[in-house]
């Protein structure tokens, strides 16, 4: 007979767990047969001891089976999904998914909400008046079949084990564990039902993984879980030391995505979108090489087909497409405050995590899952690392609805911006790509 205490002891002592032990523990913790204090101990033991590839696959598989796997068999073609481990000024999904869909790869994506310093696609979509993100599975499948893309919220029965484990991880300081993140992300992607999964693994100050070595370990673990589950999976490791794009906040990021799809996107955001999108098209079997894929995406961008695809999706989900042209129809902040340079300098650092937290404090994000957010507020970063700034030019435009909150975050935003009199090199944006049996540093 398996006992919870023995499983915990084994993990504590660094002995690999068997499949039935992991499954027993996971089922017990979800049903309530295993009390939270034992699950908490199990999580902490896992945090310190880690898990090997076999264990983490087994954990992910048990998590997937804790709920319902989405049946996408009603959608023709190879379904493609994309996931980011969490970024700041990262509106990639709203740009790359319409582009990829307009090249013929069906996208049936379930997204999450923002938490802490990172944003979430669902919140951004809800900034569009009328937009519905809670659809039935039938509605979802029908929209993907007719439009080629739909993005909705995760259903309640998608990996209930992750909700249980995450809420305990959140209060036991065990969120930032590589096997626990890998199983959390991949269980949801696998249960989401797509055939192809492209992962954007963020590395740097604003990411869960602060250094390349840890990010690489996470990426390899996730690719292995995906491939072992029969899903073609690629991970791209991208920089999250500074915010990716320029807009942080929900309305502001919708505007940035629309501008990007109209060919006016910030270069870093576009580079990451093209890289992720290219792998999505390759794994979907639509493009034969990275160069071909990249050319297809460029064509979709220049011709406006990507933008048309976003509009079709928004319309199908009840949103007002006029707001994607006339941005004044999106929620607007009352206060716009320019943080101006007092002298000439180069930007040497923009702390992504700090800026994300400032946007959260302005109301754009949540400190706790239950918090209400203000879709209008946030900030626009006018100068990025390596840019030269003349005295008097605006570095950051703060969009706020509460004078007191704007005053409160102002010194923190200032402290997130480091400057230099010397020229500063732009850092690397795409660090590596991890595929089945192949790791490529760029």
Residue 437 CB, shortest distance to ligand URA, in Å, is: 25
Among 31, 134, 390, 415, binds Ca ion (CB under 5 A): 390
Residue 254 CB, shortest distance to ligand URA, in Å, is: 22
Catalytic one of 113, 117, 188, 431: 188
Residue 325 binding target from ligand URA, Ca ion, none, CB below 5 to 8 Å by type: none
Residue 344 binding target from ligand URA, Ca ion, none, CB below 5 to 8 Å by type: Ca ion
Whether 399 is a known active-site residue: answer no
- Residues near ligand URA (CB under 6 A) are 85-86, 180-181, 184-185
Query: At CA 182, angle to CA 160 and CA 45, rounded to 5?
Result: 85
Residue 129 CB, shortest distance to Ca ion, in Å, is: 42
User: What residue is closest to ligand URA based on CB?
Assistant: 184
Whether 436 is a known active-site residue: answer no
The rounded distance, in Å, linking the Cα atoms of 249 and 379 is: 7
Catalytic one of 49, 82, 83, 202: 83
Non-local CB neighbours of 344 within 8 Å, separated by 6+ positions: 388, 389, 390, 391
Whether 162 is a known active-site residue: answer yes
Nearest to ligand URA of 131, 180 (CB atom): 180
Catalytic one of 49, 109, 117, 169: 169
Residue 267 binding target from ligand URA, Ca ion, none, CB below 5 to 8 Å by type: none
- How remote is the C-alpha of 322 from its chain's centroid? 26
> Please, what sign has the CA dihedral across residues 266, 269, 275, 278?
negative
Sheet with 247-248, strands from edge to edge, namely: 247-248, 378-381, 394-400, 335-340
The rounded distance, in Å, linking the Cα atoms of 118 and 274 is: 21
Q: Both tokens of residue 374? A: 């203000």
Whether 188 is a known active-site residue: answer yes
Residue 343 makes contact with Ca ion by CB under 5 A? no
Strands 196-203 and 232-239: parallel
Nearest to ligand URA of 38, 85 (CB atom): 85
Residue 52 makes contact with Ca ion by CB under 5 A? no
The rounded distance, in Å, linking the Cα atoms of 80 and 75 is: 11
- Structure letter (DSSP) for residue 386: T
Residue 344 makes contact with Ca ion by CB under 5 A? yes
14: closest CA among 37, 44, 46?
A: 46
Residue 180 CB, shortest distance to ligand URA, in Å, is: 6
Radius of gyration of the chain from Cα atoms? 22
Evaluate whether 278 touches 293 at the Cβ level (below 8 Å).
Answer: yes
Nearest to Ca ion of 294, 419 (CB atom): 419
Residue 284 binding target from Ca ion, ligand URA, none, CB below 5 to 8 Å by type: none
Non-local CB neighbours of 167 within 8 Å, separated by 6+ positions: none
Residue 218 CB, shortest distance to Ca ion, in Å, is: 43
Residue 104 CB, shortest distance to Ca ion, in Å, is: 49
Catalogue the active-site residues.
83, 162, 169, 184, 188
């Amino acid at each position: 007979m398996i006992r919870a205490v023995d499983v915990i002891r084994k993990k504590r002592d660094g002995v690999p767990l068997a499949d039935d032990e992991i499954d027993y523990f996971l089922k017990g913790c979800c049903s309530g047969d295993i009390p939270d204090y034992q699950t908490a101990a199990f999580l902490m033991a896992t945090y310190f001891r880690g898990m090997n590839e076999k264990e983490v696959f087994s954990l992910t598989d048990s998590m997937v089976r804790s709920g319902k796997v989405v049946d996408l068999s009603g959608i023709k073609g190879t379904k493609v999904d994309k996931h980011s481990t969490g970024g700041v000024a990262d509106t990639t999904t709203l740009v790359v998914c319409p582009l990829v869909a307009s090249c013929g790869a069906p996208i049936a994506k379930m997204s999450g909400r923002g938490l802490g310093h990172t944003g979430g696609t669902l919140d951004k979509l809800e900034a569009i008046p009328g937009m519905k993100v809670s659809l039935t599975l039938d509605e979802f499948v029908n929209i993907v079949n007719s439009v080629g893309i739909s993005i909705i919220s995760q259903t309640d029965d998608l990996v209930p084990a992750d909700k249980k484990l995450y809420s305990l991880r959140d209060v036991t300081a065990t969120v930032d564990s590589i096997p626990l993140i890998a199983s959390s992300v991949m269980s949801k992607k696998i249960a989401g039902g797509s055939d192809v999964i492209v992962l954007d693994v963020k590395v740097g100050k604003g990411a869960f993984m602060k250094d390349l070595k840890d990010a690489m370990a996470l990426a390899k673990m996730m690719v292995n879980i995906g491939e072992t589950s029969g899903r073609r999976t690629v991970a791209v490791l991208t920089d999250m030391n500074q915010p990716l794009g320029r807009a942080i906040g929900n309305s502001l990021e919708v505007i940035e995505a629309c501008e990007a799809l109209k060919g006016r996107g910030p270069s870093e955001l576009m580079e990451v979108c093209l890289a992720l999108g290219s792998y999505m098209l390759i794994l979907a079997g639509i493009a034969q090489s990275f160069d071909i894929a990249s050319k297809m995406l460029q064509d979709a961008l220049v011709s406006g087909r990507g933008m048309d695809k976003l509009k079709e999706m928004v319309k199908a989900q009840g949103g007002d497409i006029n707001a994607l042209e006339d941005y004044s129809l999106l929620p607007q902040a009352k206060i716009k405050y320019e943080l101006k340079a007092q002298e000439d300098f180069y930007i040497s650092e923009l702390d992504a995590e700090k800026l994300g937290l400032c946007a959260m404090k302005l109301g754009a994000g949540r400190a706790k899952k239950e918090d209400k957010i203000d879709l209008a507020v946030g900030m626009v970063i006018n100068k990025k690392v390596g840019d030269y700034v003349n005295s008097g030019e605006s570095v950051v435009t703060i969009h706020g609805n509460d004078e007191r909150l704007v005053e409160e975050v102002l010194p923190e935003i200032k402290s997130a911006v480091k400057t230099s009199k010397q020229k500063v090199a732009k850092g690397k944006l795409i660090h590596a790509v991890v595929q089945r049996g192949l790791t490529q540093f760029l």
